[in-house]
Amino acid sequence: MYLFSNMLGVFVFDSQFSIVDEMLFKEADEYQNREEFIKKISSRHKNLEEPDEKSIKKILLHFNNPKYFNDFCSKNLKLTKLDVKNSVNRDNLIIQSIKSIGEIDKAINLLVKRLREWYDLYNPEFSRATESHESFVEEILNNEKSELLKKINVDKADSIGAELGQEDIEPIKSLAHQTYDLYQLRKTHLNYISALMDGYCPNIKAVCDVMVAASLIAHAGSLKRLSILPSSTIQILGAEKALFRHMKTGAKPPRHGIIIGHSLIAKAPDRMHGKVARALADKISIAAKIDYFRGKFIGDRLRKELEEKFK
C-alpha cells in the first residue's frame, strides 16, 4: 500500500490505486502540520511505502475527479496566501528601509541644492561658509540673517545679499523646514535598521556599521545569500559594472564596491585601499556566516583585529 499526501489530506492507496483510508484537512493550516496526520494514519496500517514516480502518476489521476476540484483550488489559494504572508522576514524589512534611505538622500540632495541657490540671494556669505548641508539647514531655521553673519564675522552692511521682505523669506524657510524633516526621517529609518540588526545580524553591524551592512544585505538579496558568498565577491559587491568593464576592455579591476563606505577604507591612503578592502571582506564573510547560522557574538573582536592591523 502507498502513503500519499497533498493539500486535501493524507491518503492510503492499495495496489490497485484505490483509496482504502483517508484523513482530510479541514483548513489550509493543517497542511503545514501534515506530519501529525501522517503519523496517525501510518499507525493504522502496516507496510506503507512511498509511491515511486510511476505510481504517483496513477495516484494523481484519482484527483482528476471534479468533486475534488473546488476544494483543491480553494485550499491551494489559502495556502498560497499563507506562504506569501509568512515570506516577509527581516531581510525584506532591512532592504526596504535602506532603499528608502537612498531615496530620501536623493530628495535631500535635490532640495538642498535648490535651497542653497535660493538662500544665496539673501545671504550668500553664510551659505558659502557652511559646508555641511544639515548644519546649514538647521542654522537658517533657528537664526536670523544678522545672527548668521555675526557667526562668520561678517558685518551686515558688507553683505552682498538682497534685503528681502518677510513674505519672500517665508517660502525659503518653508523649504528649509521640509528639508529638515527629511533629515529627521532619515535618522529615524537608520535607527530602525540599527535596532533590527541588533537581533538579526549583530556581527555584520559591528564589523562594518549600519549603512554598509544594510547595503551589502540589500545588494546580495538576503543574509543567507551574503553568508554563502566568497570574500572576494563581497569585496567588489556593488562594483559589477567596473568588473565587467575590466573583463571586456582590460581596464583596471575594481578594488572595492559597497564597502568603500567603511570608515577604515576612508581613512586609509589610496595605495592601501585594496589591502584594507580584502581584509575587511574576509571579516564580513566570517561575520555573515556566524549571524546566519546563529553563532556567538564576536563582531567587536573582528572589528578590533581590523583596526589594530591598519593603525
Q: Where are the domains of the chain?
A: 2-86, 90-190, 202-309
Average of per-residue pLDDT values in the chain: 91
Residue 149, C-beta contacts closer than 8 angstroms, at least 6 positions apart: 123, 125, 126, 155, 156, 159
d(CA 191, CA 181): 15
Which is higher by pLDDT, 24 or 120?
120
* pLDDT tens readout for residues 261-290: 999 998 889 899 999 999 999 999 999 999
Q: Cβ-count burial of 192 within 10 angstroms (0-12 exposed, 13-18 middle, 19+ buried)?
A: middle
Grid coordinates belonging to 104: 530620501
Predicted pLDDT of residue 183: 97
Which of 62-71, 143-152, 158-167, 280-289 has the weakest average pLDDT? 62-71
Query: Residue 228 has which C-alpha cell?
Result: 554563502
Confidence band for 191, pLDDT divided at 50, 70 and 90? very high
8 Å CB contact between 70 and 78: no
15: pLDDT confidence band, cut at 50, 70 and 90? confident
Amino acid at 102: G
Average pLDDT over residues 128-148: 93
**CATH class of the domain whose range is 202-309:** mainly alpha
The per-residue pLDDT for 250 is 87
Stated pTM of the model: 0.80
Distance CA 165, CA 169 (A): 6
Q: How far is CA 140 from CA 124, 152, 158, 263, in A?
A: 12, 13, 19, 30
Give yes or no for residue 311 having a pLDDT over 80.
no
Mean pLDDT of 100-128: 95
Beta strand extents in 133-249 (DSSP E only): none
pLDDT digits (tens, 9 = 90+) for 47-71: 888 888 888 888 888 887 777 777 8
Least confident piece of the model among 32-46, 198-212, 214-228, 289-303: 32-46
Per-residue pLDDT, averaged over 9-16, amounts to 87
| pLDDT value at 301 more than 90 | yes
pLDDT of residue 27: 76
Fold of 90-190: Helix Hairpins (1.10.287)
Please state, in angstroms and rounded to a whole number, the distance separating the CA atoms of residues 98 and 281: 20
